[in-house]
Amino acid sequence: MIMHRLLAVAALASLAVTGCADLSVQNPNDPDRERTFQTAGDIENLIAGGYRTWWSISGSNSRPGPILMTLSYQHSATAANFGMVEFSSWPKSRAHHQLADQFHSQNVGNAWADAWRSVSVAVEGLKTLDEGTLELPPDRMARARAYGFFMLGLAHASVASLYDQGYIYDPSIEIDDVTLHPYPEVWNAAVGYFDQAIAEAQAGQMAAIPSTWMSRSVEGDQLVRLIHSYRARFRAAMARTPAEREAVNWGAVLSDIDNGITETWFIDQNPGSEFAGGTATSASVNIFRLGPWGQMSYQYLGMADQSGQFQRWFALDPWERHPLLGADDPFLIVTPDQRFAQGSTVEEQTENEGSLFHISTGPGGFAAQWVRPDRGSFRWSYYRYHALDDWANNATPENRHDLPEIRIEEMNLLRAEALYRTGNLAGAADIINQTRTAAGLNATDAMGTNTDCVPRLPSGECGDLWEMIKWEVRLETMYTGLFMAPWYFHHRGWGDLTEGSFLQLPVAARDGEILGIDPVTYGGTFPFAAPVGTYGN
C-alpha cells in the first residue's frame, strides 16, 4: 500500500496541475478511474503534461542540474544556491539520504518526484484506454499510446541515469506489486518502453502531437526519430565507470543515431508556449547571470591554453589556484580555438570574444566574479559562457526562447565516440573535424594528429584522437540535454570526474523515509566515489 499511495498521489497531483479533467475522486489513495476520467479527452489531458513534467527535471533550479554542472566543472559559481558550491568544493561532498538537507530533499528529491509523476500519469492513462470504457479515434489512440510509452521510457531512463535504483511501473504491473529495482533493470525496462512507443507510432496512422504537449507539434515519424535520439543519449549516459562506458552497446547507439533526429530539437519557450516559464527559463536567470553566479572553470577548459599557464595553475593545490598566478601574471587562455576569446592580453581578449566564451564585460567586469575567496579562488576565471545570452536575455523575437534540447552536434559527436569505440578511427576523425575546423583548428586524422595542440593536457602533452573527441563533445554540448549538465554523465563514464565525486544518487529522501530504506551515502569517502580522474585533481 505504501507504493500505491506514493504513485497514485503523484498521478492525481499531475492531473490537478493540468486543470482540465473533472476530478470527483473521494479517496486520493485509491483513485477510481471510471469517476475521474469521464471522457476520452480527460485521458488526453492527463497524459499531455507528461513531457512538460519530465522536462522540468532539466531546467529548474531546484533539480540536480546546478549540482551536476558545478561538480563536473562545466560551470563555476561562488553563489552557494542550489548546491553549486557545496558539491564542487574540495574535498568532494557526499550525496546522502537526509530529508532535512535542503539540496538532497529539493534538488535531488524533486527530480525523483517529477519522474514518477510522469510515469504515474502515463500508466493511469494507458490503463484506462486498455479497459476500453472510453473510446478514441484510431489515430488519436495511436498517439496516446505512443506518447504514453515514450514518457515511460524517458522517465525510467532518467531515474536509471541518476539514481542507484528506481521503481518499474507500467500498465501490466499492479500498483501493489511495484518495487524498487537496481538501475540496470530500470534502464532495461526503459529500453522496452521506447521499443513499444516506436511500435505504437508505426502501427498505423498517428495523429500529430499538439504543441501544448511537447512545446511544438510532432508528427508520428518525428516522434520515432526523437525516441531513437533520446535512447542513444541515455545508452551512453547510463555508465558509471569507464568499464561500463566501454561495455555500452555501441552498435545499438549507432543504430539509434542513424534512425534519430536530422535537425536540432528545440523546446519552444516563446511567450504563450506551455513551456514558457518555470523550468529552464528560471534556471537561465540564475545559471547564466553575470558575476558570482556563472563563470567558466579552468579545470578542463584550460586545456585550450597554449601559453603554459594552465599547467602552472593545475599543478597547484586546488585551494591555491587563482586566475592571477602572480602579481602581474594573469592566467589568460591563449589559444587558436576561436570558441575562446582571442589575443594575449585582457584588452585584446575583451575586444575579441570567442563564439562560446568571452571576458565578462557586465557590471564590474570579470572582477565581479571574484568574490568569496573563502569558497575557493579555484572557482574564478576571467571568462564566462555567453553563447546562450541571446536566449537567456530574450534578445530577439526570432530566437528568444527556442532552447536546444537535443543538438544535432550532440548526435554527431556521440556517433564519433561510437565509431572510435568500434575501431573506425578515420570516421571518428572526420566527424570531429566538422566542429574542430569551424573553430579555426587544424583537422586531425585517424592517427590523432594535433598540430594545434588543442587540447593540451595538464601534463603538457597534446591530446590524442580520443582527447580531441572528448574536447569537441564538451564544447559543443554545454548546457543542453541530460539535465543541462551533460559533462557530468560523460565525465563519469570517461573517468574524468575529480576524486571523490559521487557517481550516482541515492533514492530521494522523501520516498526513502516512507519506504523505510536504510540511509545510504555515495561519493566523498563512501562507495560510488570517483577515483582520481584522468588528469589528476
Quick check: is 162 in a domain? yes
The reported pLDDT for the residue numbered 17 is 42
What are the angstrom distances between the C-alpha of 377 and each of 27, 300, 301, 304?
55, 16, 16, 20
The reported pLDDT for the residue numbered 100 is 65
The reported pLDDT for the residue numbered 469 is 98
Calpha distance 194→398 (Å, rounded): 33
Helix or strand or coil: residue 86?
A: helix
Cell, residue 371: 568574490
pLDDT tens track for 173-206: 999 899 999 999 999 999 999 999 999 999 989 9
Cell, residue 276: 514558457
Cell, residue 102: 535542503
The reported pLDDT for the residue numbered 291 is 78
The answer to whether the beta carbons of residues 121 and 43 sit under 8 Å apart is no
Calpha distance 339→227 (Å, rounded): 31
pLDDT tens track for 252-296: 999 999 999 999 998 887 767 777 655 455 555 556 677 788 899
The answer to whether the beta carbons of residues 423 and 250 sit under 8 Å apart is no
The reported pLDDT for the residue numbered 459 is 97
Domain termination site, one of 387, 420, 455: 387
Whether 272 and 366 map to the same domain: the answer is no
Q: Summarize the confidence of residues 356-381 as an average pLDDT.
A: 91
pLDDT tens track for 214-261: 999 999 999 999 999 999 999 999 999 999 999 999 999 999 999 999
The reported pLDDT for the residue numbered 500 is 95
Percent with pLDDT over 90 in the chain: 63
**Could you tell me which residues come within 8 angstroms of residue 98 by beta carbon, excluding any fewer than 6 positions away?**
104, 105, 509, 519
Whether 148 and 239 map to the same domain: the answer is yes
The reported pLDDT for the residue numbered 397 is 46
Quick check: is 110 in a domain? yes
Whether 234 and 331 map to the same domain: the answer is no
Beta-bridged to residue 166, according to DSSP, are 181
Burial tier of 315 (Cβ tally within 10 Å: 0-12, 13-18, 19+): exposed
Whether 251 and 348 map to the same domain: the answer is no
Q: Summarize the confidence of residues 520-536 as an average pLDDT.
A: 91
Cell, residue 255: 543504430
Angle 472-362-84 (CA atoms, 0-180°, nearest 5)? 60
Handedness of CA 406, 410, 414, 415 (dihedral sign): positive
Residue 165 is given by DSSP the state E
Helix or strand or coil: residue 403?
A: strand
- State the residue for C-alpha cell 566564451: 357
The reported pLDDT for the residue numbered 99 is 65
Whether 313 and 211 map to the same domain: the answer is no
Helix (H) or strand (E) holding 268: strand 265-268
Q: Summarize the confidence of residues 125-135 as an average pLDDT.
A: 87
Q: Per-residue pLDDT for 166 more than 80? A: yes
Quick check: is 462 in a domain? no
Backbone angles phi, psi at 95, to 5 degrees: -100, 125
Whether 232 and 144 map to the same domain: the answer is yes
The reported pLDDT for the residue numbered 327 is 87
Calpha distance 257→231 (Å, rounded): 9
Q: Between 482 and 10, where is the model more confident? A: 482
Q: Per-residue pLDDT for 97 more than 90? A: no
Calpha distance 319→108 (Å, rounded): 27
Cell, residue 132: 476500453
Torsion region of 143: left, alpha or beta (phi above 0 gives left; psi -120 to 50 gives alpha): alpha
Q: What is the DSSP string of 11-30?
A: HHHHHHHHT-S----S-TTS
The answer to whether the beta carbons of residues 268 and 401 sit under 8 Å apart is yes
The reported pLDDT for the residue numbered 79 is 87
Q: Between 139 and 275, where is the model more confident? A: 139
Residue 61 is given by DSSP the state T
Q: Per-residue pLDDT for 487 more than 60? A: yes
Whether 225 and 242 map to the same domain: the answer is yes
Q: Summarize the confidence of residues 11-27 as an average pLDDT.
A: 39
The reported pLDDT for the residue numbered 498 is 96
528 — pLDDT class (breaks 50, 70, 90)? very high
Backbone angles phi, psi at 492, to 5 degrees: -70, -35
322 — pLDDT class (breaks 50, 70, 90)? very high
Helix or strand or coil: residue 179?
A: coil
pLDDT tens track for 426-479: 999 999 999 999 999 999 999 999 999 999 999 999 999 999 999 999 999 998
Q: Summarize the confidence of residues 336-359 as an average pLDDT.
A: 96
Calpha distance 401→393 (Å, rounded): 9
The reported pLDDT for the residue numbered 292 is 83
The reported pLDDT for the residue numbered 30 is 43
The reported pLDDT for the residue numbered 24 is 32
Q: Between 424 and 114, where is the model more confident? A: 424
The two beta strands, 180-182 and 383-385, are unpaired
Mark 231-269 as b/e (b = at least 16 C-beta within 10 Å). bbbbbbbbbbbeeebeebebeebbebbeebbeeebbbbb
Q: How many domains does the chain have?
A: 2
* 132 C-beta neighbours (distance < 10 Å), count: 7
- State the residue for C-alpha cell 531512463: 157
Whether 271 and 123 map to the same domain: the answer is yes
Q: Per-residue pLDDT for 147 more than 90? A: yes
Whether 247 and 345 map to the same domain: the answer is no
Of 124-138, 302-316, 487-501, the least confident: 124-138
Quick check: is 441 in a domain? no
Residue type, 374: D
Domain termination site, one of 242, 267, 285: 285
The reported pLDDT for the residue numbered 63 is 81
Helix or strand or coil: residue 264?
A: coil
Residue ranges of E strands in 18-84: none
Cell, residue 379: 572557482
The reported pLDDT for the residue numbered 8 is 52
Quick check: is 459 in a domain? no
To the nearest whole number, what is the mean pLDDT of the chain? 87
Give residue 276's domain range: 2-285
11 — pLDDT class (breaks 50, 70, 90)? very low
Q: Per-residue pLDDT for 47 more than 80? A: yes
Residue 362, CB-side half-sphere exposure with 13 Å CA sphere: 20
The answer to whether the beta carbons of residues 139 and 206 sit under 8 Å apart is yes
**Could you tell me which residues come within 8 angstroms of residue 342 by beta carbon, excluding any fewer than 6 positions away?**
348, 349, 352, 354
Q: Per-residue pLDDT for 13 more than 60? A: no
Whether 71 and 215 map to the same domain: the answer is yes
Cell, residue 205: 496512422
CATH of the domain at 275: 1.25.40
Whether 293 and 253 map to the same domain: the answer is no
Backbone angles phi, psi at 387, to 5 degrees: -65, -25
Helix or strand or coil: residue 383?
A: strand
134 — pLDDT class (breaks 50, 70, 90)? confident
Domain termination site, one of 370, 387, 404: 387
Residue type, 235: R
Whether 66 and 178 map to the same domain: the answer is yes
Q: Between 4 and 61, where is the model more confident? A: 61
Of 35-39, 69-73, 124-128, 230-234, the least confident: 35-39
